[in-house]
């Protein structure tokens, strides 16, 4: 197993650029033999404490604590929404320049819809010559900041505004997913956790941990194949 990419480390925290297709930790139901927690624990030869999660299919910034006290402090910070998360995604169509999504989310094991809020901005748009479902193939790079942390919140919110994420086999559109597989060789969910912003629990100083989506091989190759076809959208 290849080493995980450590993008930040100090005496209390470590962050990696999580690859897609890896669970954060193994579960009895998943059947996965390897997961991020196990790989990174062996790589660093020490105990690690997960403080938040990313879906298996999502890449990007994933943070761990190196001791239980720090884990407890960060757990409280996440629960109290003191940690600001930014994601990037490729979606179908062209969303508005920016907007807020306030749409409750219901989980199968919870009959009560829970409040869920996200804000987004459309950064760039790609228009291709092909037609998909009778329309010009149009896709956008969006930046999303979830204010709450519901399960699959970003994926479900972008579907709610009719701009599902490419590669999303649960909430997305099959013809567009197939087009990306055939045209660009992309089989993954194009959702990336780009940054975390928080107050360091020990120094009290602001900390921003960031990794660009184009540092992932699949994103980088996709951008190289579509170079020159993106139109920059001015955010106002």
Which residues belong to the active site?
A: 55
Q: What 3-state class would DSSP assign to 31?
A: coil
Name the β-bridge partners of 14: 9, 64
- The set of residues, in sequence order, having a beta carbon less than 8 Å from that of 201 and lying 6+ positions away, is 12, 70, 73, 74, 77
Question: What element of type H or E holds 230?
Answer: strand 230-232
Q: In degrees rounded to 5, what are phi and psi of residue 159?
A: -65, -40
Q: How far apart are alpha carbons 65 and 69 in whole angstroms? A: 9
Cα 172 to chain centroid, rounded: 15
C-alpha angle 88-16-120 in degrees, rounded to nearest 5? 15
Instruction: Determine phi and psi for 219, rounding to 5 degrees.
Output: -65, -45
Strand partners, 206: 199
Centre a 10 Å sphere on the Cβ of residue 226 and count the other Cβ atoms it contains. Answer: 14
Report the DSSP pairing between strands 59-65 and 191-199.
Answer: parallel
């Amino acid at each position: 197993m290849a080493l995980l990419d450590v993008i930040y480390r100090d005496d209390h925290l470590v962050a990696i650029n999580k690859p897609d297709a890896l669970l954060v930790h193994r579960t009895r139901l998943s059947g996965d033999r390897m997961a991020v927690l196990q790989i990174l624990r062996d790589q660093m030869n020490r105990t690690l404490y997960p403080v938040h999660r990313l879906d298996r299919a999502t890449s990007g910034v994933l943070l761990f604590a190196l001791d239980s006290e720090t884990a407890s402090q960060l757990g409280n910070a996440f629960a109290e929404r003191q940690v600001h998360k930014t994601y990037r995604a490729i979606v179908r169509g062209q969303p508005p320049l920016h907007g807020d999504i306030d749409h409750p989310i219901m989980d199968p094991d919870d009959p009560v819809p829970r409040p869920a809020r996200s804000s987004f901005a459309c950064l760039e748009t790609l228009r291709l010559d092909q037609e998909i479902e009778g329309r010009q193939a149009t896709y956008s790079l969006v930046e999303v900041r979830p204010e709450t942390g519901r399960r699959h919140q970003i994926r479900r919110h972008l579907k709610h505004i009719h701009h599902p994420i490419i590669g999303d086999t649960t909430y997305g559109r099959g013809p567009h997913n197939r087009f990306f597989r055939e045209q660009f060789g992309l089989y993954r969910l194009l959702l990336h956790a780009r940054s975390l912003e928080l107050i360091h629990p020990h120094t009290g100083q602001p900390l921003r941990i960031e990794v660009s989506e184009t540092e992932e091989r699949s994103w980088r190759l996709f951008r190289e194949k579509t170079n020159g076809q993106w139109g920059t959208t001015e955010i106002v």
